[in-house]
Amino acid sequence: MEGMSELQRIRVVIADDQELVRAGFAMVIGSQPDIQVVGQAGDGAQAVSLAESLHPDVVLMDVRMPGMDGLEATSRISALEAAAGDAPRKTRVIILTTFDLDEYVMAAINAGASGFLLKDTEPETLLSSIRTVYQGNAIIAPSATKRLIEKMMEDGYTKHGLTATDGYADGSSTMPGARPVAYTDPELNLLTEREREVLVEIAHGLSNQEIADKLFISPPTAKTHVAHILAKINARDRVQAVVFAYDNGLV
């Protein structure tokens, strides 16, 4: 992306209470011609202030920070974005934490985060995640996706009122260990057999590359399938696709 002007670069704010962590992320991001760090914050309040004044494209947000934590800061930044309406530049948040805990995943999603990654994520994954979120999509660490599904099953999550232990009147179920489905979204019928296979792998937390490897297709083909799936089921991002897959008994 040589020759990319500053206005075209992805503008990032790093929020973490450890200066060395911020410096490390800044070094990784600074090595890229299409991404730049425009601000750094040591706590949530500073992150919100920078988001309001700088309007960055992406905020890398730590969870545990003094004063206002990253989840509250994410919620406030999401509120700012909602108030901005159709503003040309949107600020999206990627939660970065060393704590792969259920409550953080759920809370981050509820706060409006577009991504959830662990701090030991490979630099290449971090950079690709920033680009993915900038394009309007969402990312979530595979381990977090698995835990999200488990959490929904434990809580009996379903928008149709069925739980993981519900069944039909005769006690039968769709498959061993799966949540029986008495209703499915009509969008499910729009998916091809291959797209259903890809959706299941999305729900298992696989990346496009991993889906391609498992289904013996090319990465661009996997990416195309994912885009078609999101469009057909009216999902904003992969997280919503995971919920859709669970809700319709695919996982």
Q: 34 pLDDT exceeds 90?
A: yes
Q: Say what the pTM is.
A: 0.65
Looking at per-residue pLDDT, the higher value among 11 and 2 belongs to: 11
CB within 8 Å of 114: residues ≥ 6 apart: 92, 93, 94, 133, 137, 138, 139, 237
Q: What is the pLDDT of residue 169?
A: 33
Taking only the tens place, the pLDDT of each residue in 50-60 is 999 999 999 99
